[in-house]
Amino acid sequence: MADLDRTRNQLPLIHQHKEKHFTAGEIVRDIIIGVSDGLTVPFALAAGLSGANASSSIVLTAGIAEVAAGAISMGLGGYLAAKSEADQYKKELKREEEEIVLVPDTEAAEVAEILSQYGIEPHEYGPVVNSLKKNPQAWLDFMMRFELGLEKPEPKRALQSALTIAISYILGGLIPLIPYMFFPKASEAVVASVVLTLVALLVFGYAKGYFTDNKPVMSAIQTAFIGAIASAAAFGMAKLVQPHQP
């Protein structure tokens, strides 16, 4: 195992990157998905209903109903996506287990090829492969990580993803609706909703850019612009198809 440990020590950056991406990146991704849709969809719905001269109570009722339905739908989507990833991991794990038993020489050659990609010298292949052969579990872990690039999913990942997306959607979706709780006239509430939501989109866009290593300022502008376009389109469409009063 000393050879295997030395080999893993020669690949610290890869190991650290995988762990960081899985434990933090997936949660951040779920939050981004939930908040971005939560801010945009109810915002556009509220603007559209306001454009159709609906009352604030109607806009608020429809908005809350949409937030509830959207949170359930988005949460379910996150659950199924994470469950699919877990099922895929199990499928590949079973295949690797069979190949290690049935075609060990082929798997050993694949190990040598993987090691060569990371600058391991040819004279080190043998000791590493022999160490792996003596420890099938270590061999299996090595192939799953370095050949397939797969990390073992956390057991509660699917439920965690569903809850994170759903809660993020609710938190984002309530922001555009807050003004309708205080302004009885939708024409007044929509102005406050636009200002409040655009500020929220700017803050969220900046945070998204910061955590995803993109340009935060540009991300903030792009996120706010997309939200503004969606709400303007919904408002304009509602005005266009609204029946004219005689």
On whether residue 208 sits in a domain, the answer given is yes
Would residue 241 count as lying in a domain?
no
- The residues, any chain, with a CB within 8 Å of residue 121's CB and separated by 6 or more, are none
Angle at 69 (CA atoms; ends 63, 71), nearest 5 degrees: 100
Q: What is the pLDDT of residue 11?
A: 43
Whether residue 127 contacts residue 63, with contact meaning beta carbons closer than 8 Å, is answered with: no
Whether 94 is covered by a domain: the verdict is yes
How confident is the model at residue 231, as a pLDDT?
Answer: 72
For residue 101, what pLDDT is reported? 67
User: What is residue 92's predicted lDDT score, i.e. its pLDDT?
Assistant: 79
Is 169 part of any domain? yes
Query: Is the Cβ–Cβ distance between 196 and 39 less than 8 Å?
Result: no
Residue-wise DSSP of 50-112: HHTT--HHHHHHHHHHHHHHHHHHHHHHHHHHHHHHHHHHHHHHHHHHHHHHH-HHHHHHHHH
Residues spanned by the domain of 42? 2-10+22-178+185-236
- Tell me the residue length of the chain: 246
Q: Per-residue pLDDT for the chain (246 aa), expressed as one digit of tens each?
A: 444 444 444 444 344 444 444 445 778 888 888 888 888 888 888 888 887 778 888 989 999 999 999 999 999 998 998 888 888 888 877 887 777 767 776 777 777 777 776 666 655 666 666 666 666 677 677 777 767 767 777 778 888 889 999 999 999 999 999 999 999 888 888 888 888 988 888 888 888 887 776 788 888 888 888 877 877 776 677 666 655 544
Please state, as a whole number, how many other Cβ atoms lie within 10 Å of the Cβ of residue 99: 15
Is 244 inside any structural domain?
no
| Overall domain count for the chain | 1
Instruction: Please check whether residue 133 is in contact with residue 26, taking contact to mean a CB–CB distance below 8 angstroms.
Output: no
Q: How many CB atoms lie within 10 A of CB 112?
A: 15
User: Does residue 46 sit within a domain?
Assistant: yes
CA–chain centroid gap for 121, Å, is 38
Residue 54 domain-assigned?
A: yes
The pLDDT of residue 82 is 85
What pLDDT was estimated at residue 120? 63
CA 37 from chain center: how many Å?
12
Return d(Cα 198, Cα 39) in angstroms, integer.
Answer: 9
CB atoms within 10 A of CB 129: 21
User: Using an 8 Å Cβ cutoff, are 132 and 5 in contact?
Assistant: no
Structure tokens at 80: 């199924």
Beta-carbon contacts of 6 under 8 Å, excluding residues fewer than 6 positions away, are: none
100 belongs to a structural domain: yes
What's the pTM value of the predicted model, to 2 decimals? Answer: 0.72
Cβ within 8 Å of residue 15, ≥6 positions away: 8
